[in-house]
Amino acid sequence: MKLSVLDQSPISEGDSAQKALQQSVELAKYTEELGFHRYWVAEHHNTNGLASTSPEILISMIAQSTTTIRVGSGGVLLPQYSPLKVAENFRMLEAFFPGRVDLGLGRSPGGGPKTRLALTDGIEKPLSSFSRQVKELKQFLQGSTPKDDRFFGVKARPETEHQPELWVLGLTERGAKHAALNGTGFTFGHFINPDHGKASIATYRERFKGSDMKEPSVNVCIFVVCGETEEEAEELAKSQDLWLLQVEKGLDTHVPSIDVARDYPYTKEQMEKISKNRRRCIIGNPDQVKTQLEELSEYYGTDEFLIITNIFDFEEKKKSYNRIAQLFQD
């Protein structure tokens, strides 16, 4: 099993964004020591409980603080940006950290309509342009813009010996098609909505057109909380359960403490929602976590999982990643 990390730099109640970002760097160093394969950071805007607004900057800090783990974005929200500028940012990262940089691309608007418009400097940009943008981004990275293209002659600098590894993040067959047609890796967001995973991955593999990535490559992102016992895991996951409810309602997105989550006056509908959200998660003791990851590995046909753990206590989060790492060591 190949284990990787997705980090949204969540801010726990009572902590600062600065502390959350420092913890992201610390967690990257820690998971590198544990043997994790990749460390990807997310992009979110106009939300008070997630500190990672600029993955490019956070990637540079993490890569500088580590030596072997691959570091990348999960992902840059391409519809808001210029493909040339994204290519230049990641060529810069590749120049500083050769052979370690991943460029994961998302189609999400990155926030509400007003936030998105602010990101695009007031320019209305359709999400339907995503596939064209991915194609142009690849051309800038590879220096392969055709002569009849409107941007022929424009070069993304600096020049580097190798290019970042490209991935497209998706939740449906639409995202899978974008990845397949552009010959990138495909990351399925089980942690957001697991309903279309198997069909999406099958579509990606069937339609894959190789380029820099010769063969289809799939990884799956999922929430995991691993405790010493099932009871401990359930206790730790209480903060993540309430946090997910708050995120979905557009409320305060700081990660609440276990005490707050334990005493929260849940309605019947909220309890039902928590139960439904557990389909996005693996929560249990080491044996339970290993069994469920192996079952999902067979179900999706992939040996790589991006693990996301948004619980209140940072030290307990590290312990959870440690337990998961021990499950698959030779």
pLDDT tens across 239-264, in order? 999 999 999 988 899 999 999 999 99
What is the model's pLDDT at position 216? 95
Question: For residue 80, what are the CA distances in angstroms to 5, 108, 122, 130, 187?
Answer: 25, 9, 10, 10, 20
Burial of 284 (0-12, 13-18, 19+ CB in 10 A): buried
Produce one character per residue of 81-106: b if its CB has 16 or more CB atoms within 10 Å, e if not.
Answer: bebbebbbbbbbbbeebeebbbbbbb
Answer for the pair 104, 74: CB distance below 8 angstroms, yes or no: yes
Query: Residue 330: pLDDT above 70?
Result: no
**Interatomic CA distance for residues 141 and 55, integer angstroms:** 18
Give the CATH number of the domain where residue 85 resides. Answer: 3.20.20.30
Q: Which of 84, 128, 87, 88 lies closest to 109, judged by CA?
A: 128
What's the mean per-residue pLDDT of the chain?
Answer: 96
Residue 234 lies in a domain: no
Which of the four pLDDT bands, split at 50, 70 and 90, describes residue 110?
Answer: confident
What is the model's pLDDT at position 101? 98
Query: Residue 227: pLDDT above 90?
Result: yes
Residue 270 lies in a domain: no
Query: Residue 211: pLDDT above 90?
Result: no
Query: Residue 293: pLDDT above 80?
Result: yes
- What is the pTM (predicted TM-score) of this model? 0.96
Other CB atoms within 10 Å distance of the CB of residue 114: 9
DSSP state for residue 156 in the 8-state scheme: -
Residue 274 lies in a domain: no
Residue 265 lies in a domain: no
Which of the four pLDDT bands, split at 50, 70 and 90, describes residue 166?
Answer: very high
Residue 102 lies in a domain: yes
Residue 305 lies in a domain: yes
Residue 67 lies in a domain: yes
Residue 126 lies in a domain: yes
Helix, strand, coil content of the chain in percent (nearest 5): 50, 15, 35
Domain count of the fold of the chain:
1
Q: Give CA angle at 296 (326, 110), nearest 5°.
A: 95
What residues make up the domain containing 118? Answer: 2-229+280-327
